[in-house]
Structure 1
Amino acid sequence: MSIKVYTDGACRGNPGPGGWGVYVLDGNEQKEFYGGSPSTTNNQMEMQAALEALIYLKDRNEHIELFTDSNIVKKGMTEWMENWKRNNWKNSNKKTVKNKEIWMQLDEASKSLNVTWTWVKGHDGDPGNEKADFLANKGADSVS
């Protein structure tokens, strides 16, 4: 059995008040949660949503398919992470990776999980993504 997780971030201004949302489909069960920060960026909220999902699922052995509409989150976790770690968290321009602390937390949280990172086009009618977007905006509203 596979757990499907949809994550999204939202920001009112960039930087500004922002929120993250997580929508989990686990068999017949659904779980929704969200949060926010009074001063953040959209990328930070996209990453925080994924992190919160992984923390929530930390003791699960099932395959997890995590859907994100952030190419940065997907590529960061599937393409860039190993090089960043090998290069002491420096990017290809020899500069410290932006949001390094959250990336490090994502790396640690994903180690014991079987996660497939899947990009989904945002605001394109995907029901799971639309729900995660709604929750992320609810998170942003809670701190605005």
Structure 2
Amino acid sequence: MIEIYTDGAASGNPGPGGYGVILRSGAHYKELSGGFRMTTNNRMELLAVIVGLASIKKPGTQVTIYSDSKYVVDSVEKKWVFGWVKTGFKDKKNKDLWMRFLTVYKLHDVKFIWIKGHNSHPENERCDELAVAASKQKSTLEIDTPFEIERNKSTLL
């Protein structure tokens, strides 16, 4: 059994953003984070989940994901994302990340639990710290290429 805590942040939304992840299993504890020069909060919330799931090496692992993102939790728990697949994600944002999510999600036995953000939940607060700190590391910010391409297409139209 692995517990994954996640959070995402974006300053300006869109703007510089980051994600934070905590993985915990028994005595094992690991923190992960990363930042992007231009992205959105929802993308970072979803990417945090993807990174957490992708870091699990053993397929079929029981995983509980704790997230303060209603966007992510409701999309999976209410099975909206599976309907979006059937429509080819027509008029839905973040298709690239949802496709990545579905690839790693199906490898494990995953359940989601929504937790209220900024409510003194220690792991959620730590994930927020990781995400915000990653978003401020100007020298190491990655490019969220799918987002920037899509954003540039819409501004050219």
Q: Same fold (TM over 0.5)?
A: yes
The code of the aligned residue for 2:117 comes to G
CA distance in 1, matches of 2:20, 2:59: 20
Structure 2: gaps of 5 or more residues: 142-157
Q: Paired residue for 1:109?
A: 104
* Aligned match of 2:41: 42
Instruction: Tell me the TM-score normalized by structure 2.
Output: 0.83
Identity in percent? 38
Alpha-carbon separation, structure 1, partners of 2:63 and 2:125: 19
1:101 & 1:60 partners in 2: Cα distance? 22
Question: Counterpart in 1 of 2:134?
Answer: 139
Structure 1 residues 76-85 or 32-41, which shifts more? Answer: 76-85
RMSD: 1.3
Amino acid at match of 1:100: K
Give every structure 1 segment of 4 or more consecutive aligned residues whose post-TM-superposition deviation is greater than 4 Å.
none
Amino acid aligned to 2:21: V
Which runs of 5 or more structure 1 residues have no equivalent in the other structure?
A: 91-95
Contact 1:20/1:45 (<8 A) preserved: yes
- After superposition, residues 1-144 of structure 1 pair within 5 angstroms as 2-79=1-78, 80-90=80-90, 96-143=91-138
Other-structure match for 1:93:
none
Number of residue equivalences: 138
Offset of 1:82 from its aligned partner? 1.4
**1:8-31 per-position Cα deviation (integer Å, ceiling 9, x unaligned):** 001111110000000111110110
Asked if the contact 1:58/1:113 (under 8 Å) is kept, the reply is no
Mapped to 2, the partners of 1:58 and 1:77 lie a distance apart of 22
